[in-house]
Amino acid sequence: MDGGDQELAEVQREHWERTYGAHPGMYGEQPSDPAVYAAEVFRAAGAADVLELGAGHGRDALFFARCGFTVLAGDFSPVGLEQLREAAAAAVLAGKVTTVVHDVREPLPLADASVDAVFAHMLLCMALSTKELHALVTEVRRVLRPGGSFVYTVRHTGDAHFGAGIGRGEDIWEHGGFAVHFFPRDLVDALADGWDLTEVHPFEEGDLPRRLWRVTQTLPR
């Protein structure tokens, strides 16, 4: 990571810490629509455990646990993960959910071929360079078991905020303090190299609305 990337990463980490601290449970208790979809994909594939990247305060991690999966929830925000642990304990799900403070710019703290499924809702479209995204997807491939599924969502270049705010390079734009890497379609295809790309599904979320793709890809057996 070069100096500029490091500085942007630290600014974003601090911004998310303040945001979670000021707005506990900011995304509510209901799971995201992509998590509901992913649970069906994972269940159909016979998955038992799920790694969630960018779990935040845990609405989707808790949903996966309620669905019967064992969940490892990672995020670079200790504040968000503390809210997740408290919510898991209150829901009597603490035995199904483990948390780890982790920055996805670093190698995943897991052994090779050790998880059945990976989920990431808008994590890949954070302030990650293209090089960092390729490194992250390589790590996801490393920790997934053969046949494992990776479901992720990203805001794309058709989003209303693309090109608005402060440009940070590589299709990264900062708006309202949040830096977002807006994906062109060729980046989705590049990250799926060596995978079975099952679906790139467009959808909208939120009041703007945000325009996203839900990507499903599978590691060949």
**Res 28: pLDDT:** 61
**Res 122: pLDDT:** 94
**Res 130: pLDDT:** 96
Residue 218 pLDDT greater than 70, yes or no: yes
Please give the residue that has the higher pLDDT: either 15 or 144: 144
Average pLDDT over residues 24-30: 66
Residue 19 pLDDT greater than 70, yes or no: no
**Res 1: pLDDT:** 46
Please give the residue that has the higher pLDDT: either 26 or 49: 49
**Model pLDDT for residues 34-62, shown as the tens digit of each residue:** 999 999 999 999 999 999 999 998 999 99
The mean-pLDDT minimum among 12-16, 130-134, 135-139, 212-216 falls in 12-16
Residue 214 pLDDT greater than 60, yes or no: yes
Share of the chain above pLDDT 90, in %: 80
Sequence-separated (6 or more) residues with CB below 8 Å from residue 181: 124, 125, 126, 127, 128, 129, 133, 154, 170, 171, 172
Residue 77 pLDDT greater than 90, yes or no: no
**Res 23: pLDDT:** 59
Contact 125, 21 (CB under 8 A): no
Residue 21 pLDDT greater than 80, yes or no: no
What is the helix, strand, coil percentage profile of the chain, to 5? 35, 30, 35
Average pLDDT over residues 103-120: 97
**Res 2: pLDDT:** 56
**Model pLDDT for residues 165-198, shown as the tens digit of each residue:** 999 999 999 988 889 999 999 999 999 999 999 9
Sequence-separated (6 or more) residues with CB below 8 Å from residue 114: 143, 145
| Burial category of 140 from C-beta neighbours within 10 Å (exposed 0-12, middle 13-18, buried 19 and up) | buried
* Selection from 137, 149, 136 nearest residue 220 by Cα: 149
The domains located in the chain, with CATH, are: 3-177+191-218 (3.40.50.150)
**Model pLDDT for residues 118-171, shown as the tens digit of each residue:** 999 999 999 999 999 999 999 999 999 999 999 999 999 999 999 999 999 999
